[in-house]
Amino acid sequence: MPVLLALDAATVSRDGRPVLSRLNLEFSPGTITAVTGANGSGKSTLLALLAGLLPADAGTVRRPRSLAFVPQRSSASETLPVTVADVVAMGRWEARPWGRMHRIDRHLVTASAQRMGVDALRSRPFGDLSGGQRQRVLIAQGLAQRADALLLDEPATALDDDGERILHDVLLEEAARGVTVVHATHDAVAAARADRWLHVENGRVMRRH
């Protein structure tokens, strides 16, 4: 199976100290990888490095043609006048940077909102939503990108049981589509359901299941 996302001796440092140390990892299309670790262990840094949000101080990062990253929470101000539909539609901006959305873009936005159970909220201001609802919307935005790789940093944060079930099903569907899925989690049960489980301690992958 081809490898589209990989780290080769990748190191990330902060204030002169390594946060991630010479990681060699490969992530295959059509698989789900769970990343666990205590707060501060380096798992969020690993996701940011894979997503291209942080540069590697040493080593290399290989990425697929398209990649979607879902953060733990939105960086947008709650006072911005954007609706749920607007936020999900942002997932199509990379595909249509200079023009209006096409029919296929509108279809993907609607389908992604429906998959995450937020279609009924499309006209609601994003800032008025609960934490769990916002998380669903951010995941829908990532799905709307229709990317080759989907990276999610603790996507189950603030989700209720129904939201977690939806998330589990969606990740399986994306992997079945051939997407490379990597998600950080504190949930050992969710990690055990993945195709591969990486545990990070002090910037190193200590266990691989």
Q: Are 3 and 62 in contact (CB under 8 A)?
A: yes
Residues contacting 37, CB < 8 A, separation 6+: 43, 184, 199, 200, 201
Cα gap 189→181, rounded to integer Å = 17
Per-residue pLDDT of the chain (209 residues; tens, 9 = 90+): 567 899 999 999 988 888 999 999 999 999 999 999 998 889 999 999 999 999 999 999 999 999 999 998 765 556 678 999 999 999 998 877 666 888 999 999 999 999 999 999 999 999 999 999 999 999 999 999 999 999 999 999 899 999 999 999 999 999 999 999 999 999 999 999 999 999 999 888 887 77
Domain 1-65+148-209, CATH: 3.40.50.300
Residue 168 is predicted with a pLDDT of 97
Domain ranges (residues) in the chain: 1-65+148-209, 77-146
